Amino acid sequence: MRTTVRLYTIHSLLSRVYFFLPILVLWFQSLQFSQFEITLLISVFYLAATLSEVPTGIFSDHFGHKWAMTLSSLCQAVGAFVLAFSQTFWIAILGELLMGLGQAFYTGSKEAYLFNILEKGEAGERYQRDYAQSKLFEFVGMAIGSLIGGSIYVYSPRLPFLLSSAVFLVAAAFALILREEPVEAKRSQIGWSSLASGFQVIRNGGGTLKALVLHFCILFTLILIFTVAISQPYLKGVGIPLGAFGLLYLFFHLSAMGGSLWAKRISTTSPGLFFIMALGILLVFAGLALFHHPLSFLLAGCVYLIWGVFIPTTSDATNRLIASGERATVLSARDFLQNLFFVLLAPLVGWVTDLWGLGMSLGLLSLSAGAAVLIGLQISGRRLQEVNN
């Protein structure tokens, strides 16, 4: 089991070596795309992931989580290759569609695979620690990709995408050698009826599960909008030179790694945990909107620090409220909702940026985080009450 977890961790690292991560928006800007068009492209990624979440979750539950993870890496490999030659808006859309499909195969399946492996090995209590470790290595992969990708972009804009494509092929090979017990044949509803079934499980799971899902959808959407669409033009706008982007994103991902290490030691029943994470994001976005200075990258690093804490703790709290046979499908339904949030909010943020600038869009993100603050306060109270009972 421990060997399998190690291989799983290596796959986590390889699947997130995005050499193009620190320059994606800059690449699209060099193709003369507006910020609204860029956020539309990124929304296409999440729309593809949204529409694919439930079918890929069903595929994962029926045929095996490792096969879904393999297809995820293959889709990412092809998608990154297409993005390398995205000279037109429509070619870029195709690349984002493939990347979104790969994301859908990955989310839910990755969490369910690890939880099921540990649960069958009677080591379910290790999930938060091992999942936090896998997230740590994901951020290691992102840090490596950022450090190298930001540097080589100056010499060859396409090279970051091509190198990522090659690494994703290696990740697919690692997913194939993961050990997984044969999945028993199942019969279940497919399509929108399955999506409704997944939401029904969430709805019937009690107030804590519903609040956790909503908190995840809001806060993760806001974090993603900042990290994938706002951070690069913000850093460029405050005067950070392009050659320093690799080092800055290395710092960001080191911050996320620190958050993941911290998450290994935090109990999801800690008083105010979910409230504090949401409040932290609200204050950071407000600070970035008010202070326009090169040293603001230190404040931006706090977003990544909270991100590193947020994913493992929220995942552990959510997985413990879902039965193993429904885990991947329900998590896919949760991710479907989160992606829908992104598709609706990201273009609005891009439109606000084009009209009134990054300061106004960051203010909008800060205001939106207020809803997560209120829900986080409710979750923290519920979790403590459950433990006391």
Count the alpha carbons within 13 Å of 280 in the hemisphere toward its beta carbon.
21
Give me the pLDDT at residue 189, please. Answer: 45
Q: How many CB atoms lie within 10 A of CB 277?
A: 24
Q: Which of 281, 26, 306, 35 is nearest to 146 (CA)?
A: 26
CA distance 209 to 74: 33
Q: How many CB atoms lie within 10 A of CB 94?
A: 16
Rounded to 10 degrees, what is the CA torsion of 260, 264, 265, 268?
Answer: 90
376: enclosing H helix or E strand: helix 358-388
Give me the pLDDT at residue 121, please. Answer: 55
Enter the DSSP assignment of 1. -
CA distance 87 to 315: 38
Give me the pLDDT at residue 244, please. Answer: 84
Enter the DSSP assignment of 124. G
Q: How many domains does the chain have?
A: 1
pLDDT digits (tens, 9 = 90+) for 220-269: 999 999 998 999 999 988 988 887 888 888 888 889 888 988 887 877 66
Residue type at 349 in one-letter notation: V
> Helix, strand, coil: what percent of the chain each, to 5?
85, 0, 15
Three-class HEC string of 323-368: CHHHHHHHHHHHHHHHHHHHHHHHHHHHHHHHHHCHHHHHHHHHHH
Q: How many CB atoms lie within 10 A of CB 279?
A: 18
Residue 356 belongs to a domain with what CATH number?
1.20.1250.20
Q: What range does the domain containing 377 cover?
A: 2-179+189-388
**Residue 290 placed within a domain:** yes
Give me the pLDDT at residue 190, please. Answer: 47
CA distance 236 to 346: 20
Tokens of 53: 């979440």
φ/ψ of residue 286, rounded to 5:
-65, -40
Instruction: Report CA 3 to chain centroid distance, whole Å.
Output: 25
**Residue 112 placed within a domain:** yes
Q: Please, is 116 exposed, middle or buried when counting C-beta atoms within 10 Å of its C-beta (0-12, 13-18, 19+)?
A: buried
**Residue 169 placed within a domain:** yes
Give me the pLDDT at residue 383, please. Answer: 55
Q: Are 23 and 146 in contact (CB under 8 A)?
A: no
Instruction: Compute the chain's Rg from CA coordinates.
Output: 20
Q: Are 225 and 362 in contact (CB under 8 A)?
A: no
Give me the pLDDT at residue 278, please. Answer: 95
Instruction: Report CA 190 to chain centroid distance, whole Å.
Output: 25
**Residue 184 placed within a domain:** no
CA distance 326 to 330: 6
CA distance 92 to 83: 6
Give me the pLDDT at residue 97, please. Answer: 95
Maximum Cα interatomic distance, the chain, rounded to a whole number of Å: 61
Q: How many CB atoms lie within 10 A of CB 155?
A: 7
Measured between alpha carbons, how far is residue 383 from residues 268, 309, 378 in Å? 8, 17, 9
Residue type at 230 in one-letter notation: I
Give 77's contacts (C-beta < 8 A, 6+ positions apart): 165, 166, 168, 169, 172
Q: Which regions in the chain score pLDDT beneath 50?
A: 185-190, 387-389
Q: Which of 366, 370, 389, 379 is nearest to 272 (CA)?
A: 379
